Structure 1
Amino acid sequence: MMLNFVLNVEANYIMTKYLISIVGPTAIGKTALSIQLAQYFNTEIISADSRQFFKEMQIGTAAPTPEELAAAPHHFIHHKSIETDYNVGAFERDAIEQLEKLFKKHDVVVMVGGSGLYVDAVTKGLDDFPDLDPKIRETLNNTLETEGLLALQTQLKQLDPQSFQSIAIDNPHRVIRALEVSIGTGKPYASFLNQKKNKRPFKTISIGLTADREIVYDRINRRVDIMMENGLLEEAKKLLPKQHLNALNTVGYKELFKYFNGNWTLDFAVSEIKKNSRRFAKRQFTWFKKNENILWFDYTTPLETIVNDISKLIEKQ
């Protein structure tokens, strides 16, 4: 089957480079599939998971194990410290530079990650925003800390009702970003979106893994239990002195910080990790479902079926 696949598409992708982007909710099996495809195409993997970048956060981000990292070359895994101010714009720049290098020796590269904004940054490019006064974000972060997310949501609803209706309103990072742009420019955040972007020198084939909601939620619950067994509590405790850092405002850590700070019991903190992980999975589905070009597969689909469908997509292009 592999020989036929190569013969069918060889003429097509000698001139064209392909990025296979694997997306889907947390705990669905993206890492395993990315390794299978990387091995099949004898290529390398770029991670677009915004929390797996940080070397101090291994257990709680479900980063690839040492065995998985050894199974195929990976990039952007544990390459930054939580002390580093690393954002989606920096990732876009670094990822495109890395892809330029990888495409010199591979016709196909695999990218995997459930962080929708980071995936889009590579495949589509980011919207162009003007430079903003950093004091605006400082003020908004202070408001979040002292008055809570609801105060920011109320402010956004007043200043930019369109964004209030369209963004992930329960995500403080998204709310702060929309407010920052609205306050700093005097224009709605949405007015800067969907502008013409630079064309990528590769074609993207987007693959999504899915399952019934009950299955996804069960996999999430079991993953959290495994994380706790593997030492998530100890990992979070070591990071407690740095809990103020933005990178640690992450499901799995922020809940345990409340346990360490005496606000919650451990059992309740773990139940909140599961609940917030399920909510995150729902947001991931919502984000990726907007992309009509994603080819969706049940998480149990055999590799051969996925590769055959990739072949058909390449042959059409």
Structure 2
Amino acid sequence: MVSNPPILISIVGPTAIGKTALSIKLAKHFNTEIISADSRQFYSDMQIGTAAPTPEELAAAKHHFIKHIPVDTYYSVGTFEKDAIALLKTLHANHRVVIMVGGSGLYVNAVTKGLDKLPKLDPAVRDTLNSRLLANGLEALQLELKALDPKAFNTIAIDNPQRVIRALEVCITSGKPYSSFLKATTKARDFKTITIGLTAPREVIYERINKRVDLMIAEGLLDEVKSLQQKRHLNALNTVGYKELFKYLDGEWTLEFAISEIKKNTRRFAKRQLTWFKKSEDTIWFDYETDITDIIAVITRQLS
């Protein structure tokens, strides 16, 4: 690493903690641009339910990987890694500091550390698991993963069928826990990463989540979900906020119950995010109410 390397400031933390607001403040201070590592904010059709930056926020600082692909386009974490690394090279030619923000831990790690190398998998196992998903639902696969690899069950995005099936594929094909392969050495990067984490007491996080869900409903989340009903089979839409309202639209749940389930499932998601991000010993954690000048002071010391 050179003595004065380019810098990536990675902002992590649970959903609804204030990462977007902090990223914009830092982008303005360092006169730079923002990369999103939120895998659901990539999709142009999903604005309200993903809490994507508003037009005002997008105008405040230049963003990348926000609503840049249609919801029916397959976009893997491996593709994101390649695209993000290529973009960083371009951005770092003009900005020593670039900001990355997002709550998708796997996508953050793909950029900062690289993806883990998994064993060769058997396509027949994946086909069987996909058939079981259609026949029996996600919960049966979740329970199998919990039995085979409790560590993975507690850390991956358990509500994402693609991730559950991938973990089970590895467990079944290799005979070893999926989590045992997530220890690869970090890929060499030509930039230095400074990771800033935002957190709060759990009751504060949960209250912020509840308020955000109420705001999403008020802003028209139900209409957004209705507009996507014909595409509900897509993996991108098997997401908290969308899948619960599909059940309401199917007549299975009342609207009140669906909203309560969105809140509950988002709180569960936030807990998993914290479990994932707390694994990194290099993260500099701040309370979500910390004054921006204090955060900038810490980052400036790191830069020098």
TM-score range relative to shorter protein? over 0.9
Return the letter of the residue paired with 1:198. K
TM-score (norm 2): 0.93
Q: In the alignment, which of 48, 55, 60 is matched to residue 66 of structure 1?
A: 55
Q: In the alignment, which of 132, 137, 147 is matched to residue 121 of structure 2?
A: 132
Q: Distance in 2 between matches of 1:137 and 1:51?
A: 23
Secondary structure at the counterpart of residue 53 of structure 1: coil
TM-superposed deviation, 1:185? 4.3
The gaps in structure 2 that reach 5 residues or longer are: none
The more displaced of 166-175 and 104-113 is 166-175
The gaps in structure 1 that reach 5 residues or longer are: 1-11
Indicate the percent of aligned positions where both proteins have the same amino acid: 63
| Residue 193 (structure 1) aligns with | 182
Measured against aligned partners, the alpha-carbon deviations of 1:241-300 in whole angstroms (never above 9, x if no partner) come to 111100000000000000011110111101111111111111111111111111111111
Return the letter of the residue paired with 2:284. L
Secondary structure at the counterpart of residue 185 of structure 2: coil
The answer as to whether partners of 1:14 and 1:107 remain within 8 angstroms in 2 is no
Return the letter of the residue paired with 1:66. P
Q: In the alignment, which of 80, 94, 107 is matched to residue 118 of structure 1?
A: 107
| Residue 207 (structure 1) aligns with | 196
1:215/1:243 CA distance change after superposition, 3 Å: same
**Pairing of 1:1-317 with structure 2 (within 5 A):** 15-156=4-145, 160-161=148-149, 167-168=155-156, 170-171=158-159, 172-315=161-304
Q: Distance in 2 between matches of 1:229 and 1:46?
A: 28
The answer as to whether partners of 2:5 and 2:191 remain within 8 angstroms in 1 is yes
Over the aligned positions, Cα root-mean-square deviation in angstroms equals 2.1
TM-superposed deviation, 1:180? 1.3
Q: Distance in 2 between matches of 1:168 and 1:48?
A: 16
TM-superposed deviation, 1:198? 2.4
TM-score (norm 1): 0.89
Secondary structure at the counterpart of residue 228 of structure 2: helix
- Higher Cα Rg: structure 1 or 2? 1
Q: Distance in 2 between matches of 1:297 and 1:169?
A: 24
Q: Distance in 1 between matches of 2:150 and 2:256?
A: 39
1:95/1:212 CA distance change after superposition, 3 Å: same
Secondary structure at the counterpart of residue 51 of structure 1: coil
The answer as to whether partners of 2:157 and 2:272 remain within 8 angstroms in 1 is no
Q: Distance in 2 between matches of 1:14 and 1:164?
A: 38
Q: Distance in 2 between matches of 1:273 and 1:157?
A: 23
Measured against aligned partners, the alpha-carbon deviations of 1:153-193 in whole angstroms (never above 9, x if no partner) come to 454466x4465566448444433111112334455424432
